[in-house]
Chain A
């Protein structure tokens, strides 16, 4: 039960972090009960928790960079959308096939590019993400271009569907929580230690017998799985998909969430996604200045919590270990 210990250790590390979690839980409960318009924002946040938690495994644990994980969300999201809306497949097998397709693409792209280091890898993944976006725009016979695909059915098995806003919120929160628990379990396994060792020093990792290329690929595939899962969750929750959904904007947003939350920590990915999804709502009253207020808030967070929201826990504590770091 290592992962339970991890969550507990991260939570008790500081009252500030625990308070943030209580706040987040209270907000979800409030929105669930009142059915506020914020429910759609929370759907969005939960999907991004999954996406960012996966990206964190590749970037936060293994110390690599990817600007192209939107491609995996696009591949699985569009596969789900096309098979269910155009060919009448049930959602679960469509999503499963989409995720499998994304993983095959991740293997084909990752195998050669993960031999590249630093900004070469970043450029290669950026190109991959841009290509996926262009395909979604140009392959009109399948994706209907900018028009997008609508009428995508919600998740479900047979007559049991996750259709109401409240049901979708519960379903997405459950998947997001499972995703975070799985990430915590990975972090505290032999696999996770190998990832973090590679981030520390590839040579030191090799000298301990860690096959660096193989474990980088493993981290890439696991994070691609999370991204693909997020892509399918999105199209079935919203019922609509267009290229913009999985464009470069997705990458920028995910990076913001990762750094605001605290890269490398498990709770950070979750809190970051929630906070960044909700920020635009908080600054809405500034009307035409809302982008300015949004930017200013981000800067304030990064100045006062440079390690992200998860680092707030360090307030008042000194040398204790950081299980999620």
Chain B
């Protein structure tokens, strides 16, 4: 928490750029997450939202700076980023289908190594948040329904005891009722003090939960919005249409 630029921010992203070959996927993105924030990152398909999440995590090569509570997050080193407490629930969930639910959860706490009491504490917490996972601990993760797989993906992320949780389109391909259940859990986690960044194409969903929002378009932050004041969707549609 040193330096005026990062003072008090949980996450500070400064001038982050990334490219795939000749395509600029991120162009000098600036973004901050403050204590207790639930930040929504909105934008149309291809706006660079997923790339932003992967770039913060260090999964893609970037220019620019990312810091977590004032400490620089090393670039292109996701293992170090994970060790600092950045946890990403990737697009498409990224669960390990041939492994059991229990093993997927154990992998979430991979960096915990052999601290058994702490593992048990996290395990119990995740199972109380997602009781359905408890019934399915011995099942192969690939045999779960889409909603259960997403719960597992979030549960696995929580096993890492994140300082900041990044979620990339957790609603993708899920029934509205399930989406509501999962987003409700995220809101509860956030009220408990966990800062969250949620990437969503379905803006109304995300804006209901978020206290701050960014709209991305063509790899840039097109606008920073206050969800409470966005009353008409015409305002958002403007960014989606470029």
* A241-282 interface code vs B (CB 8 A; 1 in, 0 out): 000000000000000000000001000000000000000000
User: A193 vs B159: C-alpha distance in the bound complex, in angstroms?
Assistant: 15
Of A19-27, A30-38, A200-208, A287-295, the segment with at least 4 beta carbons within 8 Å of chain B is: A200-208
* A161-205 interface code vs B (CB 8 A; 1 in, 0 out): 000000000000000000000000000001001101100110110
Closest Cβ of chain B to A3, distance in Å, is 14
Q: What chain B residues lie within 8 Å of A197 (beta carbons)?
A: 96, 99, 107
Closest Cβ of chain A to B24, distance in Å, is 21
User: A208 vs B93: C-alpha distance in the bound complex, in angstroms?
Assistant: 13
Q: What chain A residues lie within 8 Å of B94 (beta carbons)?
A: 200-201, 203-204, 207
* B72-105 interface code vs A (CB 8 A; 1 in, 0 out): 0000001101110001101000111111110100
Taking a contact as CB atoms under 8 Å apart, the answer to whether B140 and A322 are in contact is yes
Tell me the residues in window 204-232 of chain A with beta carbons closer than 8 Å to chain B beta carbons.
Answer: 204, 206-211
* B46-66 interface code vs A (CB 8 A; 1 in, 0 out): 000000001001010000000
Is there a chain A Cβ closer than 8 Å to B147's Cβ? Answer: no
Q: What chain B residues lie within 8 Å of A193 (beta carbons)?
A: 99, 103, 106-107, 110
Is there a chain B Cβ closer than 8 Å to A323's Cβ? Answer: yes
Q: A206-B78, A209-B111, A209-B160 are in contact. Are A196 and B106 (CB under 8 A)?
A: no
Q: What chain B residues lie within 8 Å of A207 (beta carbons)?
A: 57, 59, 78, 81-82, 87-88, 90, 94
User: A322 vs B143: C-alpha distance in the bound complex, in angstroms?
Assistant: 11
Taking a contact as CB atoms under 8 Å apart, the answer to whether A325 and B79 are in contact is no
| Interface hub of B79, B90, B108 (most chain A Cβ within 10 A) | B79
Taking a contact as CB atoms under 8 Å apart, the answer to whether B111 and A196 are in contact is no
Is there a chain A Cβ closer than 8 Å to B118's Cβ? Answer: no
Is there a chain A Cβ closer than 8 Å to B113's Cβ? Answer: yes
Is there a chain A Cβ closer than 8 Å to B139's Cβ? Answer: yes
Residues of B in contact, count (CB < 8 Å): 32
Q: A200-B98, A204-B94, A208-B107 are in contact. Are A320 and B138 (CB under 8 A)?
A: yes
Taking a contact as CB atoms under 8 Å apart, the answer to whether B83 and A209 are in contact is yes
Taking a contact as CB atoms under 8 Å apart, the answer to whether B90 and A319 are in contact is no
Tell me the residues in window 27-72 of chain B with beta carbons closer than 8 Å to chain A beta carbons.
Answer: 54, 57, 59
Shortest Cβ distance from A188 into B: residue: B103
Selected contact of A200 from candidates B79, B83, B97, B138, CB within 8 Å: B97
Is there a chain B Cβ closer than 8 Å to A108's Cβ? Answer: no
| Residue ranges of A at the interface with B (Cβ–Cβ < 8 Å) | 190, 193-194, 196-197, 200-201, 203-204, 206-211, 264, 319-323, 325
Closest 6 CB pairs of A and B: A204-B94, A209-B82, A321-B100, A209-B111, A206-B78, A200-B96
Q: List 21 A-B contacts (CB under 8 A).
A: A193-B99, A193-B107, A194-B107, A196-B103, A200-B94, A200-B97, A201-B94, A207-B59, A208-B107, A208-B108, A208-B111, A208-B156, A208-B160, A209-B79, A209-B110, A264-B98, A320-B139, A321-B100, A323-B100, A325-B99, A325-B140
